[in-house]
């Protein structure tokens, strides 16, 4: 592995280093050559960060054995993909805050396919299930890879349906690859690691935390040409994903629902705000095709 890539992965394991600060470091020192030669006081002044942060970075990059970590990851078929790598997904580089490193396990070729995000309510209704079964098979036949978040409800059903119908699927995790969450979906994750793809921007030993999940949602939308919201309450993670998709210039598709259903309030509101109303897979294909023609 190139020394520059090893430096990047080492720094990526530094505790408490935010993505914003990481991007700041790279903007001022794109190869990280300077950082690795500086004293903590120099790091503070050059990068305009706190002394505490500079001390933490200095200690971490000079006292951690990244070789041992990479060896462990290799044993578990975990492949770190950095933003410097040629096969890092070009579509993901387009977003405002792309992940610096992606830890992947499975079929990396899926990152070169056309991808569609599908998210929705954890407490999915029978209507949500019927909607998935109506839309997904035709999208899979069009060779779209289904991207979702391995969560309960719509997410796991989208993954499962894609696998059952002979399609491809990618799960974007809100935890490290050694901490599959929720635990009851571990068997699905193992199947995806063998035949599909697991992706996380968090180092493999990172446990799930509440604030990781809104952050990971931008990767679901960032990898995708468009995001389909099946069911969503008024305030939900699915709507966060929809907002991020809009900010990233991705298409947002929403399945309408009953005005009496709590899990349709979010999707109906999205449609009022300009999301594409979806009653057939053709609505999605037409929108994406028209975008291709405009480009």
Q: Report if residue 98 sits inside a domain.
A: no
pLDDT of res. 292: 64
Quote the crossing angle between the two packed helices 262-272 and 237-247, to the nearest 10°. 20
Quote the CA–CA distance of 265 and 24 in Å, as a whole number.
39
In this structure, what token pair is assigned to residue 272? 């009022």
Q: Are residues 118 and 257 in the same domain?
A: yes
The fraction of the chain above a pLDDT of 70, given in percent, is 98
Confidence of residue 143 (pLDDT cuts 50, 70, 90): very high
pLDDT of res. 64: 84
Supply the CATH number for residue 184's domain.
Answer: 3.40.50.450
Q: Are residues 55 and 167 in the same domain?
A: no
Cis, bond preceding 142 (omega within 30 deg of 0): no
- Indicate if the pLDDT at residue 295 is higher than 80: no
Supply the CATH number for residue 25's domain.
Answer: 1.10.150
Say how many Å lie between the first and final Cα of the chain, rounded: 37
- Indicate if the pLDDT at residue 1 is higher than 70: no
Q: Are residues 203 and 287 in the same domain?
A: yes
Q: Are residues 132 and 245 in the same domain?
A: yes
- Indicate if the pLDDT at residue 58 is higher than 90: yes
Q: Report if residue 290 sits inside a domain.
A: yes
- Indicate if the pLDDT at residue 52 is higher than 70: yes
User: 61-70, 172-181, 184-193: which has the minimum mean pLDDT?
Assistant: 61-70
- Indicate if the pLDDT at residue 191 is higher than 90: yes
Residues 6+ apart with CB under 8 A from 261: 125, 127, 231
Quote the CA–CA distance of 180 and 80 in Å, as a whole number.
17
Q: Pick the residue with more confidence: 110 or 64?
A: 110
Q: Are residues 138 and 270 in the same domain?
A: yes
Q: Pick the residue with more confidence: 54 or 236?
A: 54
Confidence of residue 122 (pLDDT cuts 50, 70, 90): very high
pLDDT of res. 60: 92
pLDDT of res. 211: 87
Residue whose pair of structure tokens reads 């059952």 in the numeric block: 164
Q: Pick the residue with more confidence: 172 or 262?
A: 172
pLDDT of res. 291: 67
Quote the CA–CA distance of 200 and 173 in Å, as a whole number.
5
Q: Are residues 237 and 285 in the same domain?
A: yes
- Indicate if the pLDDT at residue 237 is higher than 90: no
Q: Are residues 129 and 209 in the same domain?
A: yes
Check if the beta carbon of residue 221 is closer than 8 Å to that of residue 241: yes
Q: Lay out the sheet containing 101-106: strands in order across.
A: 79-82, 101-106, 197-200, 169-172, 145-148, 115-119, 226-229, 251-254, 276-277
Quote the crossing angle between the two packed helices 281-294 and 126-141, to the nearest 10°. 50
Residue whose pair of structure tokens reads 């697991």 in the numeric block: 198
Per the structure, how many domains does the chain have?
2
Q: Are residues 117 and 243 in the same domain?
A: yes
Q: Report if residue 271 sits inside a domain.
A: yes
Quote the CA–CA distance of 291 and 295 in Å, as a whole number.
6
Quote the CA–CA distance of 266 and 257 in Å, as a whole number.
9
Q: Are residues 66 and 178 in the same domain?
A: no
- Among 237, 239, 240, 248, CA closest to 89: 248
pLDDT of res. 103: 98
Q: What is the mean pLDDT of residues 271-287?
A: 94
Quote the CA–CA distance of 281 and 277 in Å, as a whole number.
11
Confidence of residue 279 (pLDDT cuts 50, 70, 90): very high
Q: Are residues 144 and 277 in the same domain?
A: yes
Q: Are residues 56 and 181 in the same domain?
A: no
**What one-character DSSP code corresponds to residue 232?**
-
Provide the residue range defining the domain that includes 42: 3-75
Q: Are residues 199 and 262 in the same domain?
A: yes
Confidence of residue 214 (pLDDT cuts 50, 70, 90): confident
Quote the CA–CA distance of 122 and 40 in Å, as a whole number.
45
Q: Report if residue 121 sits inside a domain.
A: yes
């Amino acid at each position: 592995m190139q020394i520059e890539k090893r430096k990047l992965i080492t720094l990526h394991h530094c505790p408490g280093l935010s993505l914003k600060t990481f991007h700041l470091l790279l903007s001022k020192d794109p190869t990280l050559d300077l950082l690795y030669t500086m004293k903590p006081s120099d790091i503070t002044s050059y990068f305009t960060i706190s002394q505490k942060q500079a001390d933490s970075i200095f200690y971490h990059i000079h006292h951690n054995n990244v070789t041992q970590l990479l060896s462990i990851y290799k044993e578990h078929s975990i492949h770190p993909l950095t933003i410097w790598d040629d096969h890092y997904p070009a579509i993901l580089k387009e977003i405002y805050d792309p992940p610096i490193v992606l830890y992947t396990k499975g079929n990396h070729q899926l990152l070169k396919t056309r991808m569609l995000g599908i998210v929705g309510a954890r407490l999915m209704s029978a209507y949500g299930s019927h909607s998935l079964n109506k839309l997904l098979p035709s999208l899979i036949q069009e060779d779209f890879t289904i991207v979702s978040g391995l969560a309960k409800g719509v997410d796991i059903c989208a993954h499962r349906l894609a696998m059952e119908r002979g399609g491809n699927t990618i799960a974007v995790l809100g935890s490290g690859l050694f901490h599959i969450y929720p635990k009851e979906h571990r068997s699905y994750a193992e199947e995806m690691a063998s035949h599909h793809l697991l992706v996380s921007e968090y180092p493999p030993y990172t446990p799930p935390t509440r604030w990781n999940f809104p952050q990971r949602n931008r990767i679901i939308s960032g990898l995708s040409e468009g995001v389909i919201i099946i069911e969503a309450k008024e305030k939900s993670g699915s709507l966060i994903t929809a907002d991020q998709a809009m900010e990233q210039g991705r298409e947002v598709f929403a399945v309408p629902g009953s005005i009496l259903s709590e899990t349709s309030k979010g999707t109906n509101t999205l449609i009022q705000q300009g999301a594409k109303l979806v009653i057939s897979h053709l609505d999605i294909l037409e929108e994406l095709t028209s975008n291709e023609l405009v480009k």
